[in-house]
């Protein structure tokens, strides 16, 4: 196939909204949304601050099948309030994962996929967003013991704040070239640490450190895929078929602490230095 | 933020419901559901204050040419231009028509 | 010295374990008749990572917390009576820096969350004692996985997603506007009384000397920690956090999801 033909055939995933993304990944015809927009469970806190709500609070929870197996997908809509986690959207994700845990306890092998497109806590709901993220994290760790939990960071928002920690808890992480994964947003780092430490306007620099390709090359994500719905679905099938990883990345404290002891702290790091440090027996 | 209500004459209730758009910068979310025969009821929640006349005119222009089906429409607007509003509404009307 | 270190030493006694960075203090002691592991993240002016010298939770701290929890889970694996884990929380923020992002601080903090969550699931009663700031990612990594959260009543004790100045900048408001909003929107408030209305705390306690606990303070806090451990019993989840009127939507969403599942 020529490049042009391939380009014409591919379906951009990044350009899809949260609902379309969930639909595109689940087996055809199996998509069933829970607490859909017509249920109108919206943020109780945004109107108090003069901010227009979205009918689904920016989170789509859908059940269906994935490669023939029962699945639940929670997809975050990055276009609404930067994909931020408020009380309702956060409870939708946490609640869905908690029910998936119950399913597994009862012998139903429900697997979970998180489509992460989020700046982290919604500051207008601050402490309730943070609490919800703690509960999402708790549920990932519990569900992961039964069945892989797979996160997808496609872009364009990326995955930041407390939800980047949630990403770090997933059994598997998939990223595209458009994805960025990091704890702190570039502007916040620049504000807190200064321009010399982090220039938030230097996009190539930020991408070189936190972009999907770099995260893959340094072993912090498991799969690096094209921005294409079919490719992402195929990768999901492949990772779920592998079953649980022998040791989740978040349990590898001994290995990471050993690596961090080797960091030359006198200079700043570039992308190549990080790859060199984390490559080798990382995978 | 402002909440506005509008009503227009309409035909028979639409058959399906539909959702289009997103509450993102310069965009809006439109939820359409079957309404009471003869009435098109629209509720707009918008981040832009003082634009009631603009909404009224936009709807009048749209529904003057063709009687719409009876619907309850909820609009959550995040500063969309009249062009985007019209586009989303047309998308939504087409979707409920297809069901 | 720091509040976190003072409270850790006063509550746990004993020597901090070796094999940890100087910023992560792990002390094995007791709580009433039970064995307990006390953990705190404390300032370390000599921290090799310059952005983590004031008690922030950074790369080393996140992974070392994971190590401290993993160790206790493994050591108590076959014991009927699992050690109580007490996180003494006084963490101003996560570490903000280039090295931190480049080396995956999110993954290090996931290491800590993983440790606390698995300790809880393995049957360890996990309690967080808030003696100072409990901010954002730092609190997620150190304390927020606890089954019971206890806060001391003091203006310096606060839970939040972001410092006031930064939160104001990002939401395009002045600090004054932010404070005014917090009056009517409890989840946005910075003080512990407002936080308590969200139902996330198990108990708030007043003490005489927040910086350096008195004998009375210690007795009261120890007693409260023991009650918390008893109250946890054999439960391993975070269900105790739901039910407050100011967090009604969190319960409603779960009920509706269950009905439609």
Per-position pLDDT tens, chain A of length 283: 566 666 666 689 999 999 999 999 999 999 999 999 999 999 999 999 999 999 999 999 999 999 999 999 999 999 999 999 999 999 999 999 999 999 999 999 999 999 999 999 999 999 999 999 999 999 999 999 999 999 999 989 999 999 999 999 999 999 999 999 999 999 889 988 999 999 999 999 999 999 999 999 999 999 999 999 999 999 999 999 999 999 999 999 999 999 999 998 888 999 999 999 998 554 4
Reference A13, options A162, A121, A115; nearest CA is A115
Instruction: Assign residue B68 a region (left: φ > 0; alpha: ψ between -120 and 50; beta: otherwise).
Output: beta
Cα–Cα–Cα angle for C144, C141, C166, rounded to 5 degrees = 95
**A77/B76 Cβ within 8 A:** no
Q: What is the pLDDT of residue A43?
A: 98
Residue with tokens 């055939």: A9
**A51/B31 Cβ within 8 A:** no
Q: Is the pLDDT of residue C166 over 70?
A: yes
CA distance B66 to chain A (A): 26
Rounded average pLDDT over C207-211? 96
**C66/A137 Cβ within 8 A:** no
CA distance A205 to chain B (A): 27
Reference C249, options A99, B23, A95, A75; nearest CA is A95
Distances from the Cα of C172 to the Cα of A219, C167, C177, angstroms = 37, 8, 10
Please report the residues numbered 20 through 49 in chain A whose beta carbons come closer than 8 angstroms to any beta carbon of chain B: 37-38, 47
Residue with tokens 């060199």: A276
The question of ipTM being above 0.95 is answered as: yes
Mutate one of A165, A274, A275 to test the C interface: name it (highest C CB count within 10 A). A165
Chain A residues with CB under 8 Å of C198 CB are: 127-128, 131
Q: Across-strand partners of C34?
A: C31
Nearest CA in chain C to A35: C257
Q: Is the pLDDT of residue C111 over 50?
A: yes
* C164/A69: higher pLDDT: A69
Please report the residues numbered 1 through 20 in chain A whose beta carbons come closer than 8 angstroms to any beta carbon of chain B: 17
3-state secondary structure C140-195: HHCCCCCCEEEEECCCCCEEECCCHHHHHHHCCCCHHHHHHHHHHCHHHCCCHHHH
Nearest CA in chain A to B49: A50
Q: What is the pLDDT of residue A176?
A: 97
Touch criterion met for C and A (3+ Cβ pairs within 8 Å): yes
Alpha carbon distance A218, C77 (integer Å): 33
Q: In this complex, which chains have at least 3 CB pairs below 8 Å with chain B?
A: A
**A41/C256 Cβ within 8 A:** yes
Q: What is the pLDDT of residue B99?
A: 46
Contacts of C38 (CB under 8 A, 6+ apart): C8, C11, C12, C25, C26, C27, C28, C29, C86, C88
- Confirm if C225 and C127 have CB atoms less than 8 A apart: yes
3-state secondary structure (DSSP) of residue C8: helix
CA distance C214 to chain A (A): 31
What is the token pair recorded at C155? 């203006």
Alpha carbon distance C147, C144 (integer Å): 8
**By CB neighbour count within 10 A (0-12 exposed, 13-18 middle, 19+ buried), where does B37 fall?**
exposed
Q: Across-strand partners of A115?
A: A75, A152
Residue with tokens 């922030």: C56
Alpha carbon distance C201, B71 (integer Å): 46
**A37/B19 Cβ within 8 A:** yes
Instruction: Assign residue C136 a region (left: φ > 0; alpha: ψ between -120 and 50; beta: otherwise).
Output: left
3-state secondary structure (DSSP) of residue A240: helix
Q: Is the dihedral of CA B57, B60, B65, B71 positive or negative?
A: positive
**C107/A249 Cβ within 8 A:** yes
Q: How many CB pairs under 8 A join A and B?
A: 43
Give the tens place of pLDDT for each residue, C62-100: 999 999 999 999 999 999 999 999 999 999 999 999 999
* A236/B15: higher pLDDT: A236
Mutate one of A49, A52, A54, A62 to test the B interface: name it (highest B CB count within 10 A). A52
Contacts of A108 (CB under 8 A, 6+ apart): A70
Ranked by mean pLDDT, the top range of A219-233, B56-70, C178-192 is A219-233
φ, ψ at B55 (rounded to 5°): -60, -45
What sections of A10-125 are H helices per DSSP?
A: 18-25, 87-105
Chain A residues with CB under 8 Å of C48 CB are: 263, 265
Q: Is the pLDDT of residue C167 over 90?
A: no
Reference A235, options A158, A167, A168, A176; nearest CA is A176
Q: What is the pLDDT of residue B84?
A: 96
Question: Which helix (H) or strand (E) element contains residue A236?
Answer: helix A229-242
Distances from the Cα of B72 to the Cα of A199, B6, B33, B83, C3, angstroms = 49, 10, 5, 21, 58
Burial B60-93 (b: 16+ CB within 10 A, else e): eebbeeeebbbbbbbbbbbbbeeeebeebbeebb
Out of B1, B17, B23, name the one closest to residue A54 (CB).
B23
Chain A residues with CB under 8 Å of B45 CB are: 52-53
Reference A208, options A137, A131, A272; nearest CA is A272
Out of A17, A38, A50, name the one closest to residue B22 (CB).
A17
Out of B31, B46, B77, name the one closest to residue A37 (CB).
B31
Q: In this complex, which chains have at least 3 CB pairs below 8 Å with chain C?
A: A
Nearest CA in chain A to B77: A52
Nearest CA in chain A to C101: A182
Give the tens place of pLDDT for each residue, C218-253: 999 999 999 999 999 999 999 999 999 999 999 999
CA distance B45 to chain A (A): 7
Q: Would you list the DSSP string of A166-187?
A: HHHHSSEEEE-TT-BB-SS-HH
Out of A161, A220, A265, name the one closest to residue C104 (CB).
A220
Alpha carbon distance A60, A66 (integer Å): 16
B74 touches chain A (CB under 8 A): yes
Q: What is the pLDDT of residue A5?
A: 65
Chain A residues with CB under 8 Å of C103 CB are: 260, 263, 269, 274, 277-278
Q: Would you list the DSSP string of A253-281?
A: HHHHHHHHHT--TTS---HHHHHHHH-ST
Mutate one of C18, C249, C255 to test the A interface: name it (highest A CB count within 10 A). C249
Give the tens place of pLDDT for each residue, B65-99: 889 999 999 999 999 999 999 999 999 999 998 54
Look at strands C158-160 and A172-175 and give their pairing.
Answer: unpaired
What is the token pair recorded at A158? 């990326």
pTM for the model stands at 0.97
Chain C residues with CB under 8 Å of A193 CB are: 51, 96-98
**By CB neighbour count within 10 A (0-12 exposed, 13-18 middle, 19+ buried), where does A8 fall?**
exposed
Q: What is the pLDDT of residue A38?
A: 97
CA distance B63 to chain A (A): 24
Q: In this complex, which chains have at least 3 CB pairs below 8 Å with chain A?
A: B, C
């Amino acid at each position: 196939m020529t490049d042009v033909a391939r380009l014409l055939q591919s379906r951009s995933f990044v350009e899809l909204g949260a609902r379309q993304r969930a639909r595109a990944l689940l087996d055809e015809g199996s998509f069933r949304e829970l607490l859909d927009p017509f249920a109108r469970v919206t943020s109780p806190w945004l109107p108090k601050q003069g901010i227009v709500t979205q009918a689904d609070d920016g989170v789509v929870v859908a059940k269906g099948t994935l490669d023939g197996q029962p699945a639940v997908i929670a997809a975050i809509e990055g276009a609404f309030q930067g994909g931020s986690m408020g009380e309702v959207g956060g409870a939708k994700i946490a609640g869905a994962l908690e029910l998936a845990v119950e399913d597994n306890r009862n012998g139903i092998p429900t697997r979970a996929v998180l489509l992460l497109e989020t700046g982290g806590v919604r500051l207008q709901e601050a402490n309730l967003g943070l609490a919800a993220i703690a509960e999402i994290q708790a549920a990932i760790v519990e569900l992961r013991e039964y069945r892989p939990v797979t996160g997808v960071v496609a872009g364009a928002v990326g995955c930041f704040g407390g939800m980047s920690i949630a990403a770090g808890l997933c059994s598997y992480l998939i990223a595209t070239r458009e994805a960025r994964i990091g704890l702190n947003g570039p502007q916040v780092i620049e504000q807190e640490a200064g321009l010399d430490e982090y220039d938030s306007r230097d996009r190539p620099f930020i991408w070189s450190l936190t972009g999907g390709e770099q995260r893959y090359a340094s072993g912090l994500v498991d799969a690096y895929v094209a921005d294409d719905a079919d490719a992402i679905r195929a990768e999901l099938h492949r990772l779920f078929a592998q079953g649980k990883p022998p040791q989740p990345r978040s349990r590898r404290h001994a290995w990471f602490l050993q690596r961090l002891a080797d960091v030359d702290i006198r200079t700043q790091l570039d992308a190549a230095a990080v790859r060199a440090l984390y490559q080798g027996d990382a995978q | 933020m402002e909440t506005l209500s509008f009503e227009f004459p309409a035909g028979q209730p639409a058959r399906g419901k539909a959702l289009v758009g997103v509450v993102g910068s310069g965009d809006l979310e439109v939820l359409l559901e079957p309404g009471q025969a003869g009435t098109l009821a629209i509720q707009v929640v918008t981040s832009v204050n003082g634009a009631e006349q603009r909404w009224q005119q936009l709807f009048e222009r749209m529904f003057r040419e063709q009687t719409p089906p009876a619907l309850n429409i909820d609009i959550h607007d995040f500063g969309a231009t009249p062009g985007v509003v019209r586009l989303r509404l047309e998308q939504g009307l087409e979707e409920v028509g297809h069901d | 010295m720091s509040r976190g270190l003072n409270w850790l030493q006063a509550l746990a006694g004993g020597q901090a374990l070796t094999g940890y960075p100087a910023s992560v203090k792990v002390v094995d002691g007791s709580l009433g008749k039970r064995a307990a592991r006390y953990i705190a993240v404390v300032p370390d002016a000599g921290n090799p990572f310059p952005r983590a010298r004031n008690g922030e939770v950074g790369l080393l701290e996140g992974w070392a917390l994971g190590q401290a929890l993993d160790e206790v889970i493994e050591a108590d694996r076959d014991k009927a009576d699992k050690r109580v884990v007490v996180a003494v929380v006084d963490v101003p923020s996560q570490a903000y820096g280039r090295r931190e992002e480049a080396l995956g601080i999110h993954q290090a903090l996931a290491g800590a969350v993983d440790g606390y969550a698995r300790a809880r699931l393995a049957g360890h009663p996990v309690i967080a004692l808030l003696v100072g700031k409990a901010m954002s990612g730092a609190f997620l990594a150190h304390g927020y996985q606890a089954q019971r959260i206890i806060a001391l009543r003091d203006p310096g004790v606060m839970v939040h997603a972001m410092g006031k100045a930064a939160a104001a900048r990002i939401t395009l408001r002045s600090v004054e506007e932010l404070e005014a909003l917090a009056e009517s929107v409890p989840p946005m408030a910075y003080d512990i009384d407002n936080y308590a209305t969200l139902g996330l705390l198990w108990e708030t306690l007043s003490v005489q000397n927040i910086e350096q606990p008195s004998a009375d303070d210690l007795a009261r806090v120890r007693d409260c920690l023991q009650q918390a451990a008893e109250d946890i019993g054999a439960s391993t989840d975070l269900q105790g956090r739901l039910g407050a009127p100011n967090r009604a939507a969190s319960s409603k969403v779960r009920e509706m999801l269950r009905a439609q599942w």
